[in-house]
Structure 1
Amino acid sequence: MATTTNDTTYTESELEAEKTAGSRSALAMARRGAFYLSLGLAAAMTVLFLPDLLALLVMGWTAEAGAELGIHRLHVMGIAAVVGAFLLGLFVQAYKPRERIASMWGAFLVILTASVGTVWFGVGRPEEVLPFLAVTGIALVAHPAGRRLLRRGNSYSPALLGLVAVAAIPILAFAATQLSMSSSTVDPHALDGHYVMMTALLIAPIAYGLFAALGFDGWRLASWFAALPIAYYGLLSIAFPAQVGSTGAMWGVAAICWAIAFVAVAEYSRTETSSMLRREVGHSS
């Protein structure tokens, strides 16, 4: 059976295919709208809630800020670092998101860690953390990459995976220690959610680093996002060894060295051919 419209004859199968294509196009537009709306909401919340905190990434090093923050100096600056690391991974999605999948996953895992810890221990500011989790979740579900979010690229880096594994041991041990102190009802650091946020800060290198090492699209940018928060924390530990949350100068230097090594391996693997630096998926050598 055929239908004639404006001197053009269509079969039923052709009409059905056209309707299906139209529905898919409408769905794609709706997804795209939801994705960019979520980024816009995140940007608005950042402007409303976070400018003073993010300013401490720089201003926190001044004597005036140090006097004002007191015993919370390292923690608050560390919180600024984890928030900054999360926002970097989220906001780079505004441009060519299909090429920045690794950073999308890194940002989601960071905010998920902070949100679960905040709710589980009943500390911090869930009224600020959870809205960011909500918009990031929407961005993830509505991401233009679609099912490609679950697929890694055509290569991965054994060397970067090794660096992630090396970092994971002390990081997870530190995170467990921080979380064990989060349930205190008298420790001001616990009540303000500082230990939970420090856990999120140390999880950020693993979150970004793992997806970079596995070769998800945008792995190079994600490798930088893995390095920045751990390097910043290393500087904090060296500068403020007596503050709660510091692991001291030795571990601080180790953190900075790891960050440098991670970026160096990632960048070098772009130009040199080696089965350790970069290995094709499905190849054993």
Structure 2
Amino acid sequence: MSTPKSVPPQHQPQPDSGADDYVGSGRLTGRVALITGGDSGIGRAIAVAFAREGADVAIAYLNEHADARETVELVEAAGRKCLAIAGDLADHAHAEAVARETLQQYGKVDILVNNAAEQHPRESLEEVDAGQVEATFRTNVFAMFYLTRALLPHMKRGSSILNTTSVTAYRGSKHLLDYSATKGAIVSFTRSLALQVVERGIRVNGVAPGPIWTPLIPSTFSAEEVAEFGKKTPMGRPGQPFEVAGGYVFLASDAASYITGQILHINGGEVVNG
């Protein structure tokens, strides 16, 4: 797998999900994974990696139907099944329906990846209105509570829950106050739930990506910010989604059987507290 390069301002390539050259080794054979935000970016890369490792997949997404169809095709090309379910997970009734439909389709869920998120950069706190705060927390935190609550009674010993937090939970972001706050909440949720379910044999961990080149970046930041995106990392470039997906594979696999309540930092070399 070739080493990704920095992203020049005049050329914005599609995020690399690893679909062309990820080679699995059967680490998730026979398992079923439900991935939120699985239509593109990190979620798609996780879906592809899990499929290459032998898992059948369900993806939950909002309304990006064309992206979701492409993810389904990539998973099926890896020889695994893929169920795509559209709708707003911030609606607890829909979150429960997603859990129910996935269980009806596959009979079980071994791995839950809470990955769906939204962000809205603002220059000052005064620009962050009540509607934005509520929307960000509903998507990033409430949806995670709703879906995890719906699936947890059906998860058996050996199951794994993986939550996507962010480097911003540890070092902050002056332009992403509400987003960063939700990612801090996800860290605490991960640690607390891990303690609650450890005796049930269920592991709960998180991944804290740094600057990763996903469709969210050019859609939410200015051209100037996009041009500099990731350049301040020790590696001097943003990461690609496939470079994050391997961390989820590891945490979901038996190789991480003695790891719970932890956050894996995938950020190009930045050392953060926690």
- Please say whether Structure 1 and Structure 2 have the same fold, judged by a TM-score greater than 0.5: no
TM-score normalised by length of structure 1: 0.32
Q: Which has the larger radius of gyration?
A: 1
| Structure (1/2) with the larger strand percentage | 2
Higher helix proportion (structure 1 or 2): 1
> TM-score when scaled to structure 2?
0.33
